[in-house]
Amino acid sequence: MRLDLLLNKLCLTKTRTIAKNACDKGLVSLNGKPAKASALVKEEDIIVFRLYGAEHEIKITRLPTGNVAKKDATIYYEMLRRQELPT
């Protein structure tokens, strides 16, 4: 699944456009490397993104097959770290 689509489906970004722009600006990395919005994400991949005033590190545990309800989004990933960014 595309990285920008995954971030949006799992409610980690408000819109797919925000996810795409974050990738374009170098704010998202996949397995330790800067990632394009079109990068393919697999299970067990580590995603680090700096958005909404914090740096988030997540591990994908499952890939969604369709739309995901906001309350169910957390079953698809594990939050490894969340650190506030200095202002």
Q: What is the pLDDT of residue 82?
A: 94
Arch. (CATH architecture) of 3-84: Roll (3.10)
Residue 85, pLDDT > 90, answer: no
Give the percent of the chain with pLDDT over 90.
92
pLDDT tens digits along 51-62: 989 999 999 999
Residue 66, pLDDT > 90, answer: no
Residue 33, pLDDT > 90, answer: yes
Sequence ranges of the domains in the chain: 3-84
Alpha-carbon span 59 to 64, nearest angstrom? 14
Confidence of residue 83 (pLDDT cuts 50, 70, 90): very high
Q: Is 5 exposed, middle or buried (0-12, 13-18, 19+ CB in 10 A)?
A: middle
